[in-house]
Amino acid sequence: MLREVTATRYVEPLRAGGSVPGVVEADDLGTYVLKFTGSAQGRKALVAEIVVGELARRLGLRVPQLVLAHFDPAVAAHEPHQEVQDLLRASAGLNLGMDYLPGAHDFTPDTALDVGPEEAGKVVWLDALTANVDRTVHSSNLMVWPTFGVRPPRLWLIDHGAALVFHHRWDAASVLATAEKAYDFRGHALGRYGPDTRAADAELAPLVTEDLLRAVTADVPDAWLADEPGFTSPDELREAYVTYLAARARASAAWLPTDFPSRAELAAEDTRRARATEAARPAWLKRVPDLHGKPDPRPAKRYP
Domain boundaries defined on the chain: 4-255
Do 245 and 213 form a contact (C-beta atoms < 8 A)? yes
Question: Please, are residues 299 and 292 in contact by the beta-carbon 8 Å criterion?
Answer: no
Q: What is the pLDDT of residue 147?
A: 64
- Strand arrangement of the beta sheet that strand 105-106 belongs to: 105-106, 142-145, 154-157
* Angle, vertex CA 186, rays to CA 177 and CA 57, nearest 5: 70
pLDDT of residue 301: 41
Query: In 36-110, at which residue ranges do the beta strands (DSSP E only) sit?
Result: 66-71, 93-99, 105-106
Q: Write down the pLDDT at residue 173.
A: 67
pLDDT score at 302: 41
Predicted TM-score (pTM) of the model is 0.85
Using 70 as the pLDDT threshold, list the residues of the chain that sit under it. 17-18, 147-151, 172-173, 262-263, 284-304
Distance CA 95, CA 43 (A): 9
**One-letter amino acid identity for 302?**
R
**What distance in Å separates the CA atoms of residue 126 and residue 143, rounded to the nearest whole number?**
16
Q: Coil, strand, or helix at residue 93?
A: strand
Per-residue model confidence (pLDDT) at position 297: 47
**pLDDT computed for residue 289 by the predictor:** 55
Helix (H) / strand (E) containing 34: strand 31-35
Distance of alpha carbon 168 from alpha carbon 43, whole angstroms: 11
